[in-house]
Amino acid sequence: MGNRDELLAAEQVTAENGAEPRRRDVTRVGLIVPSSNTTMETELPELFARQTAATGQRYTFHSARATLKSVTREELLAMVDKAADCAVAVSDADVDVIAYACLVAVMAQGPGAHTASEDVIARAASDNGHPAAVTSSAGALVRVLQGLGAGRVAMVAPYMKPLTAMVRDYVEGSGISVLDAASLEVEDNLAVGCLDPAQLPRIARELRREGAEAIVLSACVQMPSLPAVQEVEDELGVPVVTAATATTYEILRHLGHEPAIPGAGGLLDGRFSPVEAVR
SS3 helix, strand, coil % of the chain, rounded to 5?
45, 20, 35
Query: Residue 24 above 80 pLDDT?
Result: no
Q: Give the residue ranges of the annotated binding site.
A: 37, 102-104, 159, 189, 221-222
Task: Mark 63-82 as b/e (b = at least 16 C-beta within 10 Å).
Answer: bbbbebeebbeebbeebbeb
CB 83 within 8 Å of CB 100: yes
Binding-site residues for substrate: 37, 102-104, 159, 189, 221-222
Per residue in 70-86, pLDDT (tens digit) is 666 666 666 667 889 99
pLDDT at position 3, please? 44
Output the pLDDT for position 279: 53
Phi, psi of 231 (to 5 degrees): -60, -45
pLDDT in tens, 249-260: 999 999 999 999
- Residues 116, 153 within the same domain: no
> Looking at the structure, do residues 68 and 22 belong to the same domain, yes or no?
yes
Q: Which helix (H) or strand (E) holds 32?
A: strand 27-34
The angle at the Cα of 181, spanning 154 to 66, to the nearest 5 degrees, equals: 110
Q: What is the pLDDT of residue 23?
A: 57
Do both 195 and 73 map to the same domain? Answer: no
Reported as a single tens digit per residue, the pLDDT across 124-182 is: 999 999 999 999 999 999 999 999 999 999 999 999 999 899 999 999 999 999 999 99
What is the phi/psi pair of residue 263, to 5°? 75, 15
pLDDT, tens digit, 9 for 90 and up, residues 10-22: 444 444 344 455 5
Q: Are residues 120 and 196 in the same domain?
A: no
- Report yes or no on 277 lying in a domain: no
The domain total for the chain is: 2
Domain boundaries, position 180? 141-244
160 and 231 in a single domain? The answer is yes
What gap in Å lies between CA 139 and CA 25, rounded to an integer?
28
Least confident of 49-53, 96-100, 126-130, 189-193: 189-193
Mean pLDDT computed over every residue of the chain:
88
What CATH code is carried by the domain that includes residue 106? 3.40.50.12500
Q: Point out the residues that are catalytic.
A: 102, 220
Are 132 and 255 in a shared domain?
yes
Helix (H/G/I), strand (E/B), else coil: 15: coil
Pairing assessment for the beta strands 214-218 and 240-242 based on DSSP bridges = parallel
User: Computed from CA positions of residues 275, 247, 96, 112, in that sequence, does the dihedral angle turn out positive or negative?
Assistant: positive
Q: Check whether residue 121 and residue 68 sit in a common domain.
A: yes
Average pLDDT rounded to a whole number, residues 75-104? 87
Q: Which residues contact 66 (CB under 8 A, 6 or more apart)?
A: 32, 33, 34, 35, 79, 82, 83, 85, 86, 102
What's the gap between Cα 33 and its chain centre? 10
What's the confidence (pLDDT) of residue 78? 67
Do 240 and 252 lie in a common domain? no
